[in-house]
């Protein structure tokens, strides 16, 4: 006895969860398969920051990405009756005059003006030292563990979730897709960094990056905003803070390291003199599915179009995935073009 589904989705990180949500909203049947281990989405801070790096570059397509993210997270909050996105301003600490001048230049550029407010030389807060600072707007963070738990419960209620590891060797592709008892029309791999080991998609140019985060308890009143100084501090309930994140292409495993803890505490100490007011409660490590050209990987396998990938959201999944999951679902169901289509790599990277 086989069970027909439209889409078998491999992975219940944020990518697989939001894609399943979009497909169900369009009345397609899905089965999401996940082994229920830790993943990047569960440990990520979920910060949405339209402006990245020390060159203060505005994300491409921010005019569509940010409204799509806001709208979807609000819709999910209404549906699940709990907060999903917490709008929180960000204070950017600037280490020197060059950084300050760079921001001043950005402030003269029209597209940036909606994302910065006031800035000046000197400190904005007594506890956090800086050469200069600027306030950022339209920032905040997604409550990822809570959202993922709600989406999983929603999938379970619809009998659309299977706690299992998808074993590649047990997939039959020809004459029709079959895995265990399922005969899906298509399979969509949303495996995060493990996509780099997928036998059908490992030829894609992933550039994985390990990241580590600390959770600290504090006994001094902390600002109710995200502090960004190259690294960041995120205020959390119960006198806790998250401090992150490291970024490394070395030692791509999910084990916390002493070196990362030292790096995060050292960076915090350079801007905050009250480090002894913090106690380290937890350290988490995982791997971001970054890509060499900094674009996500969406689309069909060149030989087996019934196998697809929805991956490569790197360090910005919370901002990118709402819009991309909508466009991907539309491409699947209405045959519109995939954005960030992996066709761009067929000629150079796919082994004939």
Interacting residues toward ligand FAD by CB under 6 A? 10-16, 33-35, 37, 39-41, 43-47, 165-166, 190-192, 194, 211-213, 244-245, 286, 288-289, 311, 313-319
Contacts of 101 (CB under 8 A, 6+ apart): none
Cβ-based nearer residue to ligand FAD, 29 or 52 = 52
Give the residue at shortest CB distance from ligand FAD.
13
Cβ-based nearer residue to ligand FAD, 128 or 200 = 200
> How far, CA to CA in Å, does 36 sit from each of 163, 174, 321?
6, 29, 20
Cβ-based nearer residue to ligand FAD, 128 or 179 = 179
- Residues 2, 185: contact at Cβ < 8 Å? no
Cβ-based nearer residue to ligand FAD, 41 or 160 = 41
CA torsion sign for 249, 254, 260, 264 is positive
CB of 197 to ligand FAD, least distance (A): 8
Contacts of 37 (CB under 8 A, 6+ apart): none
What are residue 325's DSSP bridge partners? none
CB of 309 to ligand FAD, least distance (A): 10
- Residues 247, 231: contact at Cβ < 8 Å? no
Q: Is there a cis peptide before residue 175, judged by omega within 30 degrees of 0?
A: yes
Task: Using DSSP, state whether 287 is helix, strand or coil.
Answer: strand
Cβ-based nearer residue to ligand FAD, 10 or 23 = 10
């Amino acid at each position: 006895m086989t069970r027909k589904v439209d889409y078998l989705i491999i992975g219940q990180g944020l990518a697989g969860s939001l894609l399943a949500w979009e497909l169900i909203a369009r009345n397609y049947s899905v089965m999401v398969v996940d082994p229920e281990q830790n993943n990047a989405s569960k440990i990520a801070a979920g910060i949405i920051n339209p402006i990245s790096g020390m060159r203060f570059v505005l994300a491409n397509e921010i005019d569509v990405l940010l409204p799509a993210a806001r709208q979807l997270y609000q819709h999910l909050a209404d549906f699940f009756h709990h907060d999903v996105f917490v709008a929180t301003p960000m204070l950017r600490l600037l280490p020197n005059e060059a950084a300050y001048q760079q921001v001043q230049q950005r402030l003269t550029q029209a597209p940036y003006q909606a994302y910065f407010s006031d800035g000046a030389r000197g400190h904005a807060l007594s506890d956090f030292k800086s050469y200069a600072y600027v306030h950022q707007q339209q920032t905040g963070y997604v409550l990822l563990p809570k959202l993922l738990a709600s989406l999983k419960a929603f999938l379970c209620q619809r009998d659309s979730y299977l706690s299992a590891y998808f074993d590649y060797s047990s997939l039959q592709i020809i004459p029709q897709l079959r895995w265990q008892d399922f005969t899906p029309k298509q399979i969509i791999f949303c495996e995060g960094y493990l996509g780099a080991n997928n036998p059908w998609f490992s030829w894609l140019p992933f550039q994985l990056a390990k990241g580590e985060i600390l959770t600290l308890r504090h006994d001094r009143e902390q600002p109710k905003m995200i502090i960004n100084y190259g690294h960041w501090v995120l205020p959390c309930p119960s006198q806790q803070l998250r401090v992150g994140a490291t970024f490394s292409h070395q030692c791509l495993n999910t084990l916390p390291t002493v070196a990362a803890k030292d790096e995060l505490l050292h960076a915090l100490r350079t801007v905050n003199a009250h480090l002894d007011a913090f106690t380290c409660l937890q350290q988490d490590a995982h791997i971001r599915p970054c890509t060499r050209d900094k674009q996500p990987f969406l689309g069909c396998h060149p030989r087996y179009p019934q196998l697809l990938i929805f991956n490569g959201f790197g360090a910005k999944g919370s901002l990118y995935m709402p819009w991309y999951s909508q466009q991907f679902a539309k491409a699947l169901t209405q045959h519109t073009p995939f954005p960030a289509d992996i066709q761009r790599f067929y000629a150079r990277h796919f082994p004939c």
